[in-house]
Structure 1
Amino acid sequence: MKAFVDRDTCIGCEACAGTCPEVFSMDDEGKSVPIKEDIPESILESAQDANEGCPVSAISIN
């Protein structure tokens, strides 16, 4: 599974990076950037928590 961020929707609140820093980080524009690789099974639950915690639903995991 991979994480995707809709950069037009992202408000840069950093909730995803705080919840799952192994998958999400913030770029120079203050927007979330997911890792490019598949999400390791060991942190998939944390990545899904970040998805559910996004206040503007900018994250999708599939």
Structure 2
Amino acid sequence: MKLITVLMLALVLNGCVLTKVVTVPLRVGGAVVSVVPVVGNAADAVIDTTADAIDLVPL
């Protein structure tokens, strides 16, 4: 029964949904970090670039 559940979740979490599950927390973390004076915007830019790269992964 667990195997069937895992396989169904794998089918549901493919493609765009899977990358969004990963990138949304990254983007939220970047938004929080961007409030830090001086280094916040640079860190946010790096995190946002990483999230964009993850979104481009063809799953």
Higher helix proportion = 2
How does the TM-score come out when normalised to structure 1? 0.33
Higher relative contact order (CA 8 A, sep 6+): 1
Higher strand proportion = 1
Rg larger in 1 or in 2?
2
How does the TM-score come out when normalised to structure 2? 0.34
